[in-house]
Amino acid sequence: MTFNSGFHIFLYLISLIFIAMSTTSPALAGCSCSVGNWDPTSFLNSELGSGQPVQTGSVEDGGAGAEGPQTKIDSQSERIAAFPGTNMLKSLKSVSSSDVVIDVSNGNSYEKSHIKNAIHIPSSDFLNGDGNLKADEQLAAILGGAGVSKNDSVVLYGSKQSSGEAEFAFLVMKYLGHVDLTVLDGSLSEWNMAGLPNETVQNTLPPVEYTPVIVADVIADYDYVKSGQAQIVDVRPFTEFGKGRVPGSIALDPSNVVNADRIKDKEDLSGVFSRLDEEVPVVVYSDDYARSSLVWYALQLMGYEASIYTWEDWKTHESTTERTITAADVNEAEGDTAGSKYTKLGTT
């Protein structure tokens, strides 16, 4: 190779490099911008994957796992649409700035972290000191005092979806006649894994008047339970079921309706409720509202006509049926309650 030909090749390569550099997007060349900042004007209305921070995590710790947060969240709309009971679950990415988001967790989790702009109403506030549901006017006063109006679009979530906190608050607000009401499909951990905004600021809203329109059939009474018109589901620990129960009732552990920290999919719930007749109403009872509300909510999602009842009310009206617990019962109880994660909101 001669000097001239080598020099010409060198110049040619230099020109190619110069052309490539000159056509590089100025937004990328030398960019010192950072990703992960939310635009306050589009809070909760942006699509994921458009600059929001996405963290990684496992299914066990509430993260998106191998699917990735975007894939998992995109599948939520299909999952929710499959349930016969509509307008009860809210996907993470469909939460809007126009929604009133209520953190109903008990304990101090709200102070540590919560969904941006969420207010806090602990679900235990709906109960008296003895664990019974407060009077209608007291329940309405709690919501109105927190700035929640009857016409608000409300999204509920608790410390964990498997805790039953959000489902109990859902039950209370449905009883008060609230129409535009959903439970977040996932936990705060999943919200954070998706890169959605959270904060530690204590949010409050101006008090408003909350006028309830009571939906009485949400809560069953003794006469209805006694009548035999409904299928009865007992969601107390199985050992308690063995000691005494409403005659003809079926035992069910609430942990059977959740998977990790979410309500199970339609196909799985179909198996859980396979012993029930879809055409016959169901009454769910317990000595704890968190347990019974979780199963009641799952039944509603599956299209069942369901109401809730309390074990204490049954005991008040008549003595319970006693029987001896057999070895088979003990084995079933151990299998049925293994891994149960529920903390009582209060005895009924």
Residue 10 lies in a domain: no
CATH of the domain at 191: 3.40.250.10
* Whether residues 132 and 242 fall in one domain: no
Segment 143-195, tens digit of pLDDT:
999 999 999 999 999 988 789 999 999 999 999 999 999 999 988 988 999 99
For the chain, give the number of residues: 348
Residue 8 lies in a domain: no
- Under a CB-based contact definition with an 8 Å cutoff, are residues 103 and 110 in contact? yes
348 residues of the chain, pLDDT tens digit each? 444 555 555 555 555 554 444 444 333 333 333 333 333 333 444 333 333 333 323 223 333 334 444 445 558 889 999 999 989 999 999 999 999 999 999 999 999 999 999 999 999 999 999 899 999 999 999 999 999 999 999 999 998 878 999 999 999 999 999 999 999 998 898 899 999 999 999 999 999 999 999 999 999 999 999 999 999 999 999 999 999 999 999 999 999 999 987 999 999 999 999 999 999 999 999 999 999 999 999 999 999 999 999 999 999 998 644 444 455 544 444 444 444 554 556 555
pLDDT score at 251: 97
Residue 348 lies in a domain: no
End-to-end CA distance of the chain: 95
pLDDT score at 162: 80
CA 326 to chain centre: 37
Domain edge (last residue) among 214, 238, 257 = 214
DSSP readout, 214-262? --GGGB--HHHHHHT-SEEEE-S-HHHHHH---TT-EE--GGGGEETTE
d(CA 348, CA 337): 20
d(CA 237, CA 249): 13
Residue 236 lies in a domain: yes
Judge residue 228's burial from the number of C-beta atoms within 10 Å of its C-beta, 0-12 exposed, 13-18 middle, 19 or more buried. exposed
* Whether residues 262 and 294 fall in one domain: yes
Contacts 24+ apart (CB under 8 A), 9-13: none
Quick one: three-class SS letters along 26-49?
A: CCCCCCCCCCCCCCHHHCCCCCCC
Among the listed residues 229, 205, 196, the one whose alpha carbon sits nearest the alpha carbon of residue 305: 229
Residue 19 lies in a domain: no
Among the listed residues 134, 223, 128, the one whose alpha carbon sits nearest the alpha carbon of residue 175: 134
pLDDT score at 348: 56
* Whether residues 280 and 320 fall in one domain: yes
* Whether residues 333 and 276 fall in one domain: yes
Contacts 24+ apart (CB under 8 A), 256-259: 256/336, 257/294, 257/295, 257/298, 258/161, 258/162, 258/294
- Under a CB-based contact definition with an 8 Å cutoff, are residues 310 and 286 in contact? yes
* Whether residues 268 and 252 fall in one domain: yes
Amino acid at residue number 3: F
User: Nearest 5°: phi and psi at 184?
Assistant: -65, 130
* Whether residues 70 and 201 fall in one domain: yes
User: Nearest 5°: phi and psi at 213?
Assistant: -125, 95
Q: Is 323 helix (H, G, I), strand (E, B) or coil?
A: coil
* Whether residues 67 and 207 fall in one domain: yes
Among the listed residues 276, 291, 289, the one whose alpha carbon sits nearest the alpha carbon of residue 336: 291
* Whether residues 117 and 254 fall in one domain: no
Among the listed residues 92, 143, 128, 83, the one whose alpha carbon sits nearest the alpha carbon of residue 297: 83
Domain edge (last residue) among 154, 182, 214 = 214
Domain edge (last residue) among 190, 214, 238 = 214
* Whether residues 81 and 206 fall in one domain: yes
* Whether residues 75 and 209 fall in one domain: yes
Q: Please count the structural domains in the chain.
A: 2
Amino acid at residue number 170: F
Residue 343 lies in a domain: no
Residue 17 tokens, joined: 């490099």
Q: How many CB atoms lie within 10 A of CB 84?
A: 11
Residue 34 lies in a domain: no
Full residue range of the structural domain in which residue 270 is found = 219-337
pLDDT score at 260: 81
Residue 20 lies in a domain: no
* Whether residues 71 and 205 fall in one domain: yes
For the four alpha carbons of 113, 114, 117 and 123, in that order, the dihedral sign comes to: negative
Q: Is 81 helix (H, G, I), strand (E, B) or coil?
A: helix
* Whether residues 200 and 230 fall in one domain: no
